[in-house]
Structures are given as C-alpha cells and as structure tokens.
Structure 1
Amino acid sequence: MHRCLELAELGAGNVAPNPMVGAVLVYDDRIIGEGYHEVYGGPHAEPNCLASVREEDMGLIAQSVMYVSLEPCAHHGKTPPCADLIVKHKIAKVVIGCRDPFKEVSGKGIEKVRSAGIKVEQGILENRCRELNKRFFTFHTQHRPYIILKWAQTANGFIAQRENDAQTLRIENANVDHSSTTSGAGRLYITNEFTNRL
C-alpha cells in the first residue's frame, strides 16, 4: 500500500476534482504491474496498472493481488467502472486502502468485486489513504471545500511592526499544494473582498 500511495501522489495537480489513486499488482511477492490516475478524464489507476503488465506476465493476473489506495469505482463516468475490469480479469484478491465516499461508489465497488467471488480486504493504511485525498473526502462527506488558512507573522507573533508598515513576504510555494487565492490584508479589511474557489 505504501507503493500505491507513492504512485497516487504522482497525479497531484492533474486529477482534480477526482481523487489521487495508485494501484499495484503483485504475484508471489513480485510487482508485475503498477499505475496511477494520471489525468482527469483519463484511465484510472486500475486500468493503468493492468495495462503496464508485460506480455509474459499476463497469465499471472488471475493469480495476483491488486493493491489500490481507494475503492475501485463502480459507475460509468468519463471511464468505465474499474470494479468491472477487476472482475473481468478475475484477479484473485483486492486489497483496498479506504472506501470511496462518493455516493456513486461508496461500498458498491467493494460489493461488485466481492459478489464475483474475489477476496477483498480493506482498511490497509486507511488514515494515510484518506489524508492523501482530504479535499476529496471533505467535499463528499461534509459537502464543503477543504479550507486552509495561511498567514505570515514574525517570530514573536506579529504580522507587521507598526500600523501601515508594509512588509515584504516571500510565499514561494503558496499555490503548489493548494488551489488558493492570496489577498492582502488591506483588500480584505477595507474593501471586504472575499474570494474563493469551489
């Protein structure tokens, strides 16, 4: 599951509003395939994982274990259901990091795979899998965006030395991990401008 999380992180910034997901296919303690959800609207982690299996290992798929950081989808969206693909390949066992909170999937992917006679284990590194997609989970469970507040202050807790004394602040990575809007204090307090992205 650690490898699934590493792979999933490669999709950061490219898959939203979908979650970041990684998948690894293992036969007899050997990774024979791996993939992740690379871009929104493109194939999910599971089909990318299966597509990476070499020709000489194709016969091993049905005897393998697929590890996936999030429950396989069970609905038709921009791509076909990943749960159907797992069933089609008759993978012996699926190990899932955490259940998908999206109402079109939640529990349905697990049920579809189980009802096909495939063993399912879930909750492996669940907290880390949920943390990776905290924005996705917040949106689907609390029906609001994931909110992060960020400000700059001096070591002794002040934002500026004295009233109206502008300070130069370096915020090099403010937009790297977050979809954010940065606004100066003057604009927020004086003009009451509130900007957000949903």
Structure 2
Amino acid sequence: MMGGHSRAGVDRAQVSMSPQLSLLRAGFASGGILSAVSSLELSGPASILQDLSGDDERWMAEALKVAMGNNGISNPNPVVGCVFVQNGTRVAEGATECWGARHAERVAIERSDSITRLAGCAAYVTLEPCAHKGRQPPCADLLATLGLQRCVVGVRDPNRLVNGAGIARLRAAGVEVTTGVLAPEIAAWHSPFLLRHLLGRTVFAGLWALSSESPAGASGDPPRRAIGQQARAYANWLRRKYDAVLVDSQTALSAGAEIAQGIRVGSSGRPPIVLVFDPDAQLLKARIKRKTDRQAARPTEAPFVFLVKRTSIEGLEPSLIADDQLVVVLPDCRDSGAAIAAALAHHDTTLRAGRPIESVLIESSSHLLMSFGRCGLLDIVHAFVDSAGTDDDILRSCSDIAFNNGEPLPLLAKIQLGKDCLLEFLAGIARPCCYAEPRLTGYGDDH
C-alpha cells in the first residue's frame, strides 16, 4: 500500500481525513464533470470547474465532456473522448461508440469536413490511443498518418496490448506527445476500465445512502433512506457507467423497478445488466411460477441475471432453468463476495449475459458489501449522506463496510448535490492504482 504520497503539495493522509480536501479538483467526480452530467441541475461550487490552467487542461476537459455524452453506450469498452483543435478552434470531436464499433479517434476523424484539415492539429484524447487490432484497427496508426502537430493524452492505457505502445508509435511518426493532463480527473472517469486491467479482475464499486446522525444501526447495517432528486440523478448516471448493477433479493423487491428504470439509456446503447444475488433462488422460483413475468427484455430494458446456489435449484425441472437462460450458479465459497467474483469471471457467465461483465456497481445491504470488503474486492465507494457537516462517523462507517482494516478511505470527491452530500472514496487494493502520484502509477507526465 502506498500512503503519504502527495499531489500538488497535499499529503495523502491529510486528504483522506479532511473533508475540505480531495484528490479530484472542484467540479469533478468519478462520474466526470458534474456540470455535464445529464439531469443534474447544479448551482454553487459543484457547477464550477476550478483550477483549469492553460489550453491543454481546458481542451482535455472538453474531451471528457464529449466522452460523457456516450456514457453507458460502449460498455465494456471505455468511453473515450477525442477533440481535434487548430489555432484554438475545435475542428472535430468524437466519442467511443457501442462495443465493437468505432473508437473515439475514428469517429472524430470521420466527422471532420476533410481529413486534410486535420494536418497540423492537436488531438486531445482522454485515454492513450490503442496500438493493437481488436474489433477495430489501431487508433495510434490512424492518428500517425494525419500529420498532427501534437497529441495530448489524459492517461495511459494499462492494457498489456497497449501500455505505452500507442504513444511510442505517435512519437515515432514525429508527433509531439504530452501525457498526464488532468490525469487524476481523467483516471476517475476511466476508473472501471483502468482498475480492471491493473487488478486483473472484475472491478466492484459500492453505492449506498447513509444518515449523518446515525451512520450505522445496532445491527451494523446503515439505515436505508430516501435520497433527493439530484442524488438520484447522479446515482442513475453511475449505474449506466458500470457493466452491471448487483442487488440482493431484498433490494430487488424494494427498488428493482426503480433501478431498472434508472439505467435505461435508449435504443442507441446497452443498459447495464442487473445481477440479482438470490442464493436460495426464492425470487427465481417466484419468477418461474409467474411465467407471464418472464418475457424477453425489450432493447431499452436491463436484462436480469440471477446468481443462485446449486443446491437451491436441484429440485427444479432442468427444462425450466434452461428455458430461463439467465441463471448463473455460484461456486462454493465461504464469502458471498468471493463467490460472485468467481462466477462473473467464468466464461459461461459471459456467454449467458451476452457480454463481458468487467465492472459492477453494488446496491445492497451492507452485509453483502462487507463480504466484498473482507475479500479485498471493494474498490470504489460512492456514498450519499444527508448532511455536509462533520464526517468522522460517516468516514468510519464507510471504512468499516469496506473492511479497510481501520484505516481511513482516501477521499476522491466531496460535493453537495441538493440536500445530499456525495462522498467518493477508494477502497482496499484499488488505492494505489489510479489516483496516486501520477509519476508512480505510469499515468503521469513522461515527456
């Protein structure tokens, strides 16, 4: 664990404890630039971008806004933003399209009036251009043919097939490359993708609402409470950002319809999958009994996948289970979090879900969240509290849920959203990966 490193002269331990400091600049959160989040009507500090200095930072922020316009569309690929600029004027822009379709750089190039007009431009991209052929050809090779003057990169791509190779190809073509511009803020936006490659596993984030007066009940489970309109809008925005949303059976019964409604992104994108932790198959059995409820999901609806124990479905007709097609059997593990992580890593789950599940937002009781924490699998925390006052109890409660060994969680952002205060943290092993000093992680300035 890497503690005590500084960013802009601020001690990380101090950042972790002080509600006045965060690793991200004012106006930024893991969901991007708050003033650019759809459905959010902000006022005050949350609506202002502070401390942007120079053209590079301003245009990188614009590239991030372009990426945010496609939030949830490209999952499980990262939503990258690209802006071409010449003499201070935007020439073209683009964001990553749906999985397997065009990357941001190609979208921007094909939207330009003329490819020859891009010669001499500066390209601003939030993530290092890819250097390998997957479902699309390498973007670095494409950019290298344009005669660009510069390419400004927010963060490097840790994918072992890229990992600096895209930057190297551009420099070999004579393009001046600058990296690390708004690195912490861009890394926050790309955190599910970055952590997936850095950790080599599915990334898990927790989302919950706490009371500042009573952060934890007698049972150790934070009391659930209703959040305001602005907080709900941001929660829906986060749900679209992850590949899947994980709920327990109780949450599925009480808030499943709201969650499914909140993550719809329209016909142009694929909504996240809703994973239902239903170990005893109670909801699954009820669903099978009510066959009229088992209709195929429409394109704008989130598919549901039930995670069950093998023993809970042994008495069911195999044909019923086969007909459902959205049932994943959990392996035998002591901790529920470990069992779910193992199930999601299995190739069979990808086949049943129809896509890889590389990042998951957990909305459930703290018992399930703490199971992920005990296994070191809870990477990011999004918490809403009903007051912006003293946060000591809230910080302690979040740390307990994340099973952080009594250490404070490093604070990424603290922003007032209506009546609610948004607190975002790193948790567990994720701490040093994306948000530490850029020179230590490989995401920073190397020019």
Fold shared per TM-score above 0.5: yes
Contact 1:152 1:159 in 2 (8 A): no
1:181 aligns with 2:240: no
**2:85 corresponding residue in structure 1:** 26
- Which amino acid is 1:3 matched to? E
**1:148 corresponding residue in structure 2:** 205
**2:183 corresponding residue in structure 1:** 126
**Which stretch of the first structure deviates more once superposed, 104-113 or 10-19?**
10-19
Q: Secondary structure at the match of 1:149?
A: strand
**2:57 corresponding residue in structure 1:** none
Larger proportion of strand? 2
Contact 1:134 1:146 in 2 (8 A): no
Structure 1 position 143, deviation (Å)? 1.6
Residues 1:146 and 1:28: Cα distance change in structure 2 (over 3 Å)? same
**2:168 corresponding residue in structure 1:** 111
Aligned pairs (5 A) from 1:1-198: 1-55=60-114, 58-157=115-214, 170=226, 176-178=237-239, 179-183=244-248, 184=250, 195=340, 197=344, 198=357
- Which amino acid is 1:117 matched to? G
TM-score (norm: length of structure 2):
0.39
Residues 1:129 and 1:159: Cα distance change in structure 2 (over 3 Å)? same
Structure 1 position 176, deviation (Å)? 4.4
Q: Give me the identity figure in percent.
A: 30
Distance in structure 2 (CA, Å) of the matches to 1:117 and 1:62: 13
- Which amino acid is 1:45 matched to? A
Structure 1 position 6, deviation (Å)? 0.4
Higher RCO (CA 8 Å, separation ≥ 6 residues): 2
Distance in structure 1 (CA, Å) of the matches to 2:153 and 2:210: 42
Structure 1 position 44, deviation (Å)? 0.5
Contact 2:211 2:225 in 1 (8 A): no
Contact 1:10 1:38 in 2 (8 A): no
Distance in structure 1 (CA, Å) of the matches to 2:208 and 2:185: 26
Q: Secondary structure at the match of 2:246?
A: coil
Distance in structure 2 (CA, Å) of the matches to 1:168 and 1:111: 50
Structure 1 position 159, deviation (Å)? 6.4
Contact 1:24 1:33 in 2 (8 A): yes
**Which stretch of the first structure deviates more once superposed, 144-153 or 45-54?**
144-153
| Structure 2 unaligned blocks of 5 or more | 1-59, 252-275, 281-334, 345-356, 358-447
Structure 1 position 153, deviation (Å)? 4.5
| Structure 1 unaligned blocks of 5 or more | none
Residues 1:154 and 1:61: Cα distance change in structure 2 (over 3 Å)? closer
- Which amino acid is 2:111 matched to? S
Residues 1:37 and 1:155: Cα distance change in structure 2 (over 3 Å)? same
Distance in structure 1 (CA, Å) of the matches to 2:336 and 2:186: 36
Residues 1:124 and 1:155: Cα distance change in structure 2 (over 3 Å)? closer
Q: CA RMSD in A?
A: 2.8
Distance in structure 1 (CA, Å) of the matches to 2:99 and 2:123: 22
- Between the two proteins, the alignment pairs up a number of residues equal to 190
Structure 1 position 150, deviation (Å)? 3.2
Structure 1 position 168, deviation (Å)? 8.1
Structure 1 position 12, deviation (Å)? 1.5
Larger proportion of helix? 2
- Which amino acid is 2:153 matched to? I
**Which stretch of the first structure deviates more once superposed, 170-179 or 59-68?**
170-179
